[in-house]
Structure 1
Amino acid sequence: MNIGIILTVLLVGAIVTYFSGNKLASKLALLTSIAAFGLSVMALNGYLAGENWNVDLPWLTKPAINFALHVDGLSMAMLLLTTGLLPLIIASGFVTKFEDEKAIYSLILVMGAAMAGTFLAADGFVYYIFWEIALIPIYFIALRWGNGDKEERRKTILKFFIYTFAGSLFMLLAFIYLYTKGGSFAIDKLYTLKLTSTEQTYIFLAFFLAYAIKIPIVPFHSWQANTYSKAPSIGTMLLSGIMLKMGLYSVIRWQLPLSDEAAKAHIPIIVTLSIIGVIYGAILTLKQKNIKKVLAYSSLSHVGLIAAGLYSLTYEGFQGAVLQMLSHGIVIVGLFYIVEIIYSRYQTYNINEMGGIRIQATRFASLFLIVLLASVALPTTFNFIGEFNLLYSLFKVNIWYAIIAGTTIILGAFYMLRMFQKSMLGESTKPFQDLSISESIVLIVIVGVTIFFGLFPQPIIDLIEPSLQSILNQIN
């Protein structure tokens, strides 16, 4: 068996979902996503047992392109994140009644397949195709099923699409240039290229532009908050939980190994920009009254810390970044799901119009508090492990990096607890129904995974360590 079966299941599931009609669409999409996750777990077991799940099929001869997918610990971790979150994201959509459900759920599955392909691709051209395909479903999801004024939403989503697509073109140019140097897009062949310092600098900057927009890193972040707020919550979960991880993953897999000397030369600049994003995102979060924008800017702050750790070029930074990518993906999906539950009852995202929910819905408030504490990296939660490693990696580079970036812990705790206080506590202003069975299951799974890997992170560390060490050796 090869890893392509997972992509096939998602794509076939998307087609079947679309033609099944609106009544069955959500259920078929959920079953497809669960099947894809089950196959991912099988692939993990096979990989750990030494089985070969790679794909390498000739596609084009001129230029020489193979449909190549590669499974290692790093790509497997990201595949499990993608296929593990898809069922939760699809199930979260049950809170909302969508017009033309067959279309939105089939688009979600197509996007899931494209994101999984991005994490697995071992050929630069195939990787670029998956990278761009992932952008198309979220464009239509946000445009058609988004929030707010239709014309304003159209402008916001169009800006997001053009911004990210334009940045990706520079990455494509970089791949074309690398192909002219080695005659192949295969990642192992690209790793062996001997590039001059000038060539590496141009390659580094071309990749950086694409990834800095996708992550995003300040000052390339201007699309993020408005897109998150205008997209439906199910789309925001896809963007924040999985899609932004494509940029972070690609920094490790593609950018740094292909431009190691340039990366080392630009460490102070990139780490400084990333840390600015940490502080800037936290400050903007403090000013927000829209709860979706609170989460959008807090996410900007968190991914700024992840990016800073990546560009520290230390093993601790790599390990912390991957752990934080996984934990952030799980927790941010939980937070946006909580926001959607509140919206389904109150029909508002304005924090000032909430309050008194804890008295009426103790189960909901309790699970909300646990997810919130995980987001601020409380010890025994998954986020704490990654954040500790990231701050330690920055400490190894420059103690001031760690001190300044560490303020995200204080600011994060402040604005997240303040959000909880305003939305959950106080006197009840409107009736609020406690969680349904399906809503409880989604949040309990998220809380359970967060606490389990907060207490037992070693299996994930063991999974990703060989891949990260191999990439770090390539950089050094």
Structure 2
Amino acid sequence: MIPVLLILVPLISGLVTLFLRQEKVSKTWALFSSVITLAIAIFGAASANTSGNLLAFDASWVPTLGARFTFGLDGMGKVLTLLTAIAFPVIFASTFKNRYSGSNAFYGLMLFSQAGLMGVFLAMDLLLFYFFWELALIPVYFLCSRWGGERRIAVTWKFFIYTFAGSLLMLAGILYLYYQTPDHSFAMRSLYNIELTQRGELFVFWTLFIAFAIKMPVFPFHTWQPDTYEQSPTAVTMVLSGVMVKMGVFAVLRWLIPIVPNAAVRMSDVVIIFSIIGMLYASLIAIRQDDIKRLIAYSSIAHIGLMSAAMFADEGVATQGVVIQMFSHGINVIGLWIVADLIEQQLGTRKFSELGGLAQKAPTLAILFVVMALANVALPLTNAFVGEFLMFNGLFRYNHWMAGIAGISIILVAVYTLWMVQKVFYGEARTGVEMIADVSPGAKYMLITLVLVVIVFGVYPQPLINLTNDATKILAQLK
């Protein structure tokens, strides 16, 4: 029943939020419901794997199509539902002072998106997975187009075209798989045991991979991301970069590689090469940015590129690193976005050329931001180090040269991240920065919470390793 609760609580809460007309009430209700979801997710993550009904649910959905409401909470699902459950209360609390016209609709759509994300990470039926994939994305279109920046309409249209094209490709692949199963089923077990021709495997691989690559995004399907991140409200950007991009990475591990393992092996060099190109390209572009949001956006593309390369390295240690890094990257990038939002809300700018010396006026904010920045660099004893080390380890076993070229990104990420810290918080104070106040209580407590997660899982990553062990072993057996 835990999987059902993880979906129903935000879904029902979102519906209730739509009827709450007072801004403070809708904010408080959204925060409260997200904390309830977090408590359920923690209980689910702490529960031992059992064959009972606690971590699984199965019921008839569309009998004529053989589709079922089948949910399960395995190791990888626990990691990503926990990330989703942590992200939303942190986002709501850290942006509590932000004002949105029609706040009930804003928070209702945010909660609908959370319900969709939970469904994506829990679905054990491919059609059900597709349903929740769309449920997670559709609210974001409205959130970006109504509450975004000046160029929000054009940017949202571009985002829509990319994701709609990906959804059509995914649906084509899903329908092809459905008609290739002996019993015409969308069930995970049936699809994992399907036998396809070489041409059929390649068709499924490219239809699904392109759909998932758009969402991650992976070069050259990345161009929607920086604009969308820049124009979206920061709370929405946190969801997009902290959680939603993990849908694509998760989908490759959950569905693509297990269903067409032979095609994945044949195409691994192609995917890894494009992923590495994306890592280096995004890192170089990040160095040239004058906007905090765009720098963080390109940084995210670089980190996802490494995950994409590691997934296709065909090494168990790399796969485990990817699952761990999905959680770590989500925590770290949300922390960076919180600071970016605080600066923009108080100073009205995100440009590095207009910032500087903020540490003099906001020392607490500077300290917390430095910790999150060091985690973004994957410094040892931070949470990101563990996953990144495992991914590079697996990539090195796969191909020394590819790993060496990809390793250049380690230097580049340190360059642009530390440059960002220096330009924003240190150096000569610019005119107007004296207006900034130190961290507000809500944002401070959320940043402190994230910093504790960074340090705890950096020093002692064993809980994450334990959660991902089973999922990694299963994936290894399927390859």
SS at match of 2:19: helix
Q: Matched residues in 1 for 2:2 and 2:41: separation?
A: 11
SS in 2 for 1:127: helix
Unaligned runs of 5+ in 2: none
Q: Name the CA distance, whole Å, in 1 between partners of 2:14 and 2:129.
A: 21
CA distance in 2, matches of 1:75, 1:106: 24
- Return the alpha-carbon distance in structure 2 between the equivalents of residues 267 and 41 of structure 1: 35
- Contact 2:61/2:69 (<8 A) preserved: yes
CA deviation after TM superposition for structure 1 residue 50, in Å: 6.2
Please name the residue that 1:112 is paired with.
114
Kindly indicate whether residue 470 of structure 2 is the aligned counterpart of residue 466 of structure 1: yes
Q: What is the CA distance between 1:44 and its match in structure 2?
A: 2.3
Contact 2:324 2:468 in 1 (8 A): no
Classify 1:131/1:90 alpha carbon distance in 2 versus 1 (closer, same or farther; 3 Å). same
Equivalent runs, 1:402-417 vs 2, <5 Å: 402-417=403-418
> Does the 8 A contact of 1:65 with 1:185 survive in 2?
yes
Cα shift readout 1:128-173 (whole Å, capped 9, x = no counterpart):
00001111111111111112x2xx3201111101211111211111
Alpha carbons 2:368, 2:451 under 8 Å: kept: yes
SS in 2 for 1:20: coil
Instruction: Name the amino acid aligned to 1:176.
Output: L
Distance apart, 1:45 and its partner CA = 2.9
Conserved in 1, the CA contact under 8 Å of 2:49 and 2:74?
no
Corresponding pairs, count? 472
Q: Tell me, what secondary structure is at the counterpart of 1:66? A: strand
Secondary structure of 1:94's partner? coil
Shift of residue 425, structure 1, vs aligned partner = 0.9
Kindly state the Cα deviation for residue 93 of structure 1 after the two structures are TM-superposed.
2.1
SS, match of residue 279 in structure 1: helix
Post-superposition offset of 1:49: 6.3
Q: What is the one-letter code of the residue matched to 2:467?
A: L
Do 1:95 and 1:340's aligned partners in 2 also have CA atoms closer than 8 Å?
Answer: no
Identify the residue that residue 87 of structure 1 maps to in structure 2.
Answer: 89
- For 2:19, the equivalent position in structure 1 comes to 19
Partners of 2:46 and 2:299 lie apart in 1 by: 35
Distance 1:387 1:45 in 2: 25
1:426 positional shift: 2.0
Alignment of 1:28-177 (within 5 A): 28-48=29-49, 51-52=52-53, 53-147=55-149, 149=150, 152-177=151-176
Distance 2:49 2:186 in 1: 27
Is 2:290–2:351's contact at 8 Å kept on the other side of the alignment? yes
After superposition, the C-alpha distances for 1:402-433 in whole angstroms (9 at most, x for unaligned) are: 11111111111111111111111123322210
Give the equivalent residue in structure 1 for 2:243: 242
2:222 counterpart SS class: coil
Partner Cα distance (2:44, 2:241) in 1: 25
* Corresponding position of 1:378: 379
- Per the alignment, residue 251 of structure 1 pairs with 252
Structure 2 letter corresponding to 1:231: S
In 2: Cα distance, 1:14 partner to 1:461 partner: 33
User: How far, CA to CA, are the matches of 1:47 and 1:128 in structure 2?
Assistant: 28
Q: Deviations over 1:193-239 (max 9, x none)?
A: 11111111111111111011000110111101111101111111010
The CA deviation at 1:286 is 1.0
The one-letter code of the counterpart of 1:462 is N
2:2/2:40 contact within 8 Å kept? no
Superposition deviation, residue 95 in structure 1: 3.6
| C-alpha distance 447-235 of structure 1, shift in aligned 2 (>3 A) | same
Partners of 1:237 and 1:332 within 8 A in 2: yes
Q: CA deviation at 1:48?
A: 4.3
1:179 partner letter: Y
Give 3-state SS (helix, strand or coil) of 2:65's partner. Answer: coil
Tell me, in whole angstroms, the C-alpha distance in 1 between the residues paired with 2:69 and 2:153. Answer: 35
Structure 1 residue 119, shift from structure 2 partner? 0.5
Within 1, Cα distance between the matches of 2:178 and 2:287? Answer: 46
TM superposition shift of 1:51: 4.5
80-89 or 95-104: bigger deviation:
95-104
1:433 is matched with 437
AA at the equivalent of 1:9: V
| TM-score, reference length from structure 1 | 0.97
| 2:163 partner SS | helix
What secondary structure sits across from 1:57 in the alignment? Answer: strand
Cα pair 2:383 2:455 within 8 Å, conserved: yes
CA distance in 1 between partners of 2:29 and 2:141 (Å): 22
1:166 maps to a residue whose letter is A
Q: Name whichever of 13-22 and 98-107 sits farther off.
A: 13-22
Whether 1:272 aligns to 2:276 is no
Query: Any residues of structure 2 matched to 1:331-346 within 5 Å, and which?
Result: 331-346=332-347
**160-169 or 47-56, which moves further after superposition?**
47-56
What does the per-residue CA deviation read over 1:291-329, in whole Å, with 9 as the maximum and x for residues that have no partner?
Answer: 100000111111101110011121011011111111000
1:11 aligned partner, one-letter code: L
Q: By how many angstroms is 1:100 displaced?
A: 1.2
1:434 Cα deviation (Å)? 0.4
**Structure 1 residue 14, shift from structure 2 partner:** 0.7
State the one-letter code of the partner of 2:9: V
Aligned residue type for 2:125? D
Which residue matches 2:224? 223
* Residue range with higher mean Cα deviation, 423-432 or 277-286: 423-432
2:298 equivalent to 1:297: yes
- Aligned equivalents of 1:394, 1:89: Cα separation in 2: 34
The TM-score with structure 2 as length reference comes to 0.97
Q: Is the 8 A contact 1:343 1:349 kept in 2?
A: yes
Tell me, yes or no, if the aligned pair for 1:132 and 1:165 is still in contact at 8 Å.
no
CA shift for structure 1 position 46? 2.9
One-letter code aligned to 2:178:
Y
Match of 1:453 in 2: 457
Does residue 4 of structure 2 align to residue 4 of structure 1? yes
TM superposition shift of 1:473: 0.8
| Counterpart residue identity of residue 336, structure 1 | W
Gaps of 5+ in 1: none
In structure 2, what is the Cα distance between the partners aligned to 1:48 and 1:172? 32
Q: Which amino acid in the other structure matches residue 60 of structure 1?
A: V
CA distance in 1, matches of 2:374, 2:87: 20
The share of aligned pairs that are identical, in percent, is: 39
**Matched position secondary structure for 2:245:** helix
Equivalent-residue separation in structure 2 for 1:353 and 1:30 (angstroms): 33
Counterparts in 2 of 1:335-374, with a 5 A limit?
A: 335-374=336-375
Tell me if structure 2 keeps the 8 A contact 1:65–1:125. yes
